[in-house]
Each structure stands twice: as structure tokens, then as C-alpha cells.
């Protein structure tokens, strides 16, 4: 080897590293979760079997839900339900794994198949079935990826935020109490003192949802957007909840309405990001779910250990550092425990520093092509 070749070999790793770093555009990450939103509706829209079971009188074709959401193919049906997600986000900006009819699956590694274990797996990168086995308001024994990123990016408390519809996020989202900004459940938000925010903070406790610990997603989204505008966080978890609570009640029309409203809320968030230089072209978004639920008319309302179908979930990726578009096909199975490392990889951090047992980042969406 002559001197020049030798020098080249010596410098090559350096060039490769800077090339990867230069191509990585992500400066902010947003995690969005839709509690217990089934793969069945996400990929197929209205489930006709459930509608049939719910229609006790008259023809199913005459029902409002049929007229509003039915179409011949799953692609058409889901576009009627979530037009922004399917026609804009997934066509032009991102990709989604988890459609098993195309040979792509996303699964939890925890065997609990309910909320706290699912969110903890997403936020810590690991299942702990021996320790996390209830939805009780107990402090997460493990540090979350939100806390890890706060430390790595040297952020202050307002720049790492979790806005959740479910109050238990106050316990799931951080291991060290008070480390990040968490606003969850019917909790007033007092970091911004404007008439609009004061009204929202009060109204959520006047216009109560039917569930003690879960507020309507509208409030969660509005408060999160206000926080985004004022504090420009670099790490945000927006945790929506209505999809799960309506399903537990068997209120299928409300489940579909929640998904449709969540789709509009996604558009509102997306439009804000596109009109804000700090975020436009520099923000990676991961959208996923804590657990699935049953697939039959008997168990679609339910999830948990007795409903194995609930281990199948989905995960979507919108990133300036991923060129994948549309649905994944014939792909390796993705696991819920990979979400944390993927968020970190977009920001060029190695999550195994925080947790060596965590799932690895998903190469297909972090390759900086
Ligand atoms: Zn849940």
C-alpha cells in the first residue's frame, strides 16, 4: 500500500461519517399515538361486519355510516375515513408498516396488550411484563426516550413535551418526576396565559368526556399546538385517546368519528409544521399505537391478554430522512420496542446508550437516502 492509499484508508471512515451526518436533516421529532386504533380501520376503513351487527332495524345500506364511509375497496374506504393521512401524508411524505395482507406486520413484544405496557414499550424501548402489568398510576421505573433526548440535546423542560388525553401519561412519560413538560387528562395548562388558553383549560373540565381519566382529543391537540407555537419544542409526544375509549363502549360510530377527527387534527399539525421554518423539512414524525384489539364482532371492543389479535399494531414514518412512501410490502416484522431507537437515530443518537436491551432503530426509515 503506498502512502496515498494508506491516507485514503485512514480518512475513509471519517468521510463516510460526515456524509451520513450531512445528509441527516432531522432536527425535531414528534411521536403521535392513537390509543388502541385497530389495523382493521387504519388499513381498511369501515368494518362492514361490525356495522351489520350494529344495525338492528332496516337495511344496512340506509345507515348513515354506510353512506358516509362504505366503498368497494379497502383503499377507498380508508381514504374516506382518513383522507389527509392516506391521500397526502402516505402518498407524498411517508410510509406505513403493519398491513398484514401485504406481508408487513408490526407487533408488540410485551404480552399484556393494554395501554401502560404498550406506551412504556414505545417510550423506553423495552417490554417489562414482569414489572409493568397494570394501568395504575405508578411512576415508570425506567427512563423514557423523551428524558434521554432532553439530556442529549441539552434542552430545557419546555422543549420536551408530552400532551396526552389520558391522565396516566403523567406517570408513564417520565421516570424522574418533573423532568419534562407533561399535560395529560383534564389537567389545566398554565404555561401560556392568554384568554384562548384559559378558556380551553377551563372548558375541558366543563365539557367533560364520559371517562374520568381521559379528556377529548380536541383539548389535547389545541393545547399541544399552543405549546408548539410558543416554545418550539424539539421533542413532542402527542398522545390521543378517544379511539380506545369509544371502542370499549362499543360505540362504533364514535370510533370512526374519532379517527376522522384525528385525521383533521393531523392536518392541522402538519400545516403548522409546514408553515414554520424551524420545523419544515427538519421534523421526523412517528405515528403508532399502544395495542390493537380484537378482529371479530365479539371482541373488536376489547384487548388484553385474552385477545391475541391485539398484539398486531401499525407504525407510520414521515421523515425528511426517509424516502419510503406508501405501504410496506413483504417486509421484515417491525416491533413496538424499536420506536424509541428510531426517534433517536433520526437525531443521530444511539439509544442503546440509554438502554442496551432496547429494540434497534428501524433501518428502512433511517438510512438517510
Ligand atoms: Zn390503550
Residues 271-317 pLDDT 10s: 999 999 999 999 999 999 999 999 999 999 999 999 999 999 999 99
- Cα(114) to centroid(ligand 1), Å: 5
User: What is the C-alpha to C-alpha distance for residues 326 and 96, in angstroms, rounded to an integer?
Assistant: 6
Which residue(s) pair with 94 in the sheet? 318
- Cα(187) to centroid(ligand 1), Å: 19
- Cα(45) to centroid(ligand 1), Å: 20
> What pLDDT was estimated at residue 2?
57
319 close to 285: Cβ distance less than 8 angstroms: yes
In eight-state DSSP terms, residue 304 is S
> What pLDDT was estimated at residue 14?
54
- Cα(112) to centroid(ligand 1), Å: 11
**Burial label, 193 (beta-carbon count in 10 A; 0-12, 13-18, 19+):** exposed
Query: How far is C-alpha 324 from the geometric centre of its chain's CA atoms?
Result: 18
- Cα(89) to centroid(ligand 1), Å: 24
Q: Which residues of the chain fall below pLDDT 70?
A: 1-22, 368-369
Q: Where are the beta strands (DSSP E) in 222-329?
A: 235-240, 283-288, 312-313, 315-318, 326-327
Kindly list the distances between the CA atom of residue 86 and the CA atoms of 18, 28, 103, in Å, as whole numbers in the listed order: 35, 23, 19
Contacts of 352 (CB under 8 A, 6+ apart): 341, 358, 360
- Cα(310) to centroid(ligand 1), Å: 10
Kindly list the distances between the CA atom of residue 45 and the CA atoms of 22, 61, 106, 255, in Å, as whole numbers in the listed order: 40, 16, 18, 11
> What pLDDT was estimated at residue 369?
42
CATH class, range 24-365: alpha beta
The continuous run of DSSP H or E covering 95 comes out as strand 94-97
- Cα(108) to centroid(ligand 1), Å: 12
pLDDT in tens, 42-74: 999 999 999 999 999 999 999 999 999 999 999
- Cα(277) to centroid(ligand 1), Å: 34
SS3 state of residue 116 = helix
93 close to 283: Cβ distance less than 8 angstroms: no
Three-state SS string over 208-237 comes to CCCCCCECCHHHHHHHHHHHHHHHCCCEEE
- Cα(244) to centroid(ligand 1), Å: 6
- Cα(292) to centroid(ligand 1), Å: 8
- Cα(309) to centroid(ligand 1), Å: 14
- Cα(86) to centroid(ligand 1), Å: 23
- Cα(173) to centroid(ligand 1), Å: 14
Nearest to 28 by CA among 234, 237, 238, 271: 234
> What pLDDT was estimated at residue 206?
87
Ranges of H-type helices in 39-144: 39-44, 48-54, 64-69, 74-81, 83, 115-124
Cell of 354: 440509554
Strands 315-318, 334-335: pairing is unpaired
- Cα(56) to centroid(ligand 1), Å: 29
- Cα(9) to centroid(ligand 1), Å: 51
- Cα(111) to centroid(ligand 1), Å: 14
Radius of gyration of the chain (CA): 21
Amino acid at each position: 500500500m503506498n502512502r496515498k492509499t494508506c491516507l485514503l484508508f485512514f480518512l475513509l471512515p471519517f468521510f463516510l461519517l460526515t456524509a451520513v451526518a450531512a445528509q441527516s436533516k432531522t432536527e425535531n421529532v414528534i411521536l403521535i399515538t392513537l390509543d388502541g386504533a385497530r389495523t382493521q380501520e387504519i388499513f381498511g376503513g369501515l368494518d362492514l361486519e361490525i356495522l351489520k351487527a350494529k344495525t338492528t332495524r332496516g337495511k344496512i345500506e340506509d345507515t348513515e355510516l354506510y353512506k358516509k364511509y362504505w366503498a368497494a375497496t379497502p383503499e377507498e374506504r380508508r381514504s374516506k375515513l382518513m383522507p389527509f393521512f392516506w391521500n397526502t401524508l402516505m402518498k407524498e411524505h411517508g410510509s406505513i408498516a403493519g398491513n398484514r395482507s401485504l406481508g408487513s406486520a408490526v407487533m408488540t413484544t410485551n404480552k399484556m396488550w393494554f395501554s401502560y405496557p404498550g406506551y412504556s414499550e414505545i417510550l423506553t424501548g423495552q417490554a417489562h411484563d414482569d414489572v409493568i402489568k397494570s394501568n395504575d398510576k405508578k411512576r415508570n421505573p425506567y427512563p423514557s426516550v423523551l428524558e434521554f433526548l432532553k439530556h442529549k440535546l441539552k434542552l430545557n423542560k419546555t422543549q420536551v413535551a408530552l400532551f396526552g388525553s389520558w391522565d396516566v401519561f403523567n406517570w408513564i412519560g417520565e421516570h424522574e418526576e418533573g423532568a419534562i413538560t407533561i399535560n395529560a387528562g383534564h389537567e389545566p395548562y398554565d404555561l401560556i396565559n392568554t384568554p384562548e388558553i384559559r378558556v380551553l383549560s377551563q372548558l375541558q373540565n366543563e365539557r367533560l368526556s364520559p371517562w374520568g381519566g381521559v379528556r377529548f382529543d380536541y383539548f389535547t391537540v389545541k393545547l399541544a399546538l399552543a405549546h408548539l407555537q410558543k416554545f418550539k419544542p424539539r421533542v413532542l409526544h402527542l398522545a390521543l385517546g378517544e379511539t380506545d375509549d369509544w371502542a370499549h363502549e362499543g360505540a362504533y360510530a364514535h370510533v370512526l368519528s374519532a379517527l376522522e377527527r384525528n385525521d383533521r387534527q393531523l392536518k392541522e399539525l402538519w400545516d403548522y409544521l409546514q408553515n414554520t421554518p424551524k420545523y419544515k423539512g427538519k421534523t421526523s414524525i412517528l405515528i403508532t399505537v399502544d395495542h390493537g384489539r380484537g378482529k371479530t364482532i365479539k371482541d373488536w371492543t376489547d384487548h388484553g391478554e385474552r385477545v391475541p389479535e391485539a398484539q398486531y399494531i401499525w407504525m407510520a414514518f414521515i421523515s425528511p430522512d426517509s424516502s419510503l412512501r406508501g405501504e410496506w410490502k413483504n417486509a421484515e416484522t417491525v416491533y413496538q420496542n424499536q420506536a424509541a431507537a428510531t426517534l433517536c437515530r433520526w437525531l443521530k443518537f444511539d439509544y442503546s446508550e440509554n438502554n442496551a436491551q432496547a429494540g434497534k432503530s428501524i433501518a428502512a426509515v433511517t438510512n438517510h437516502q
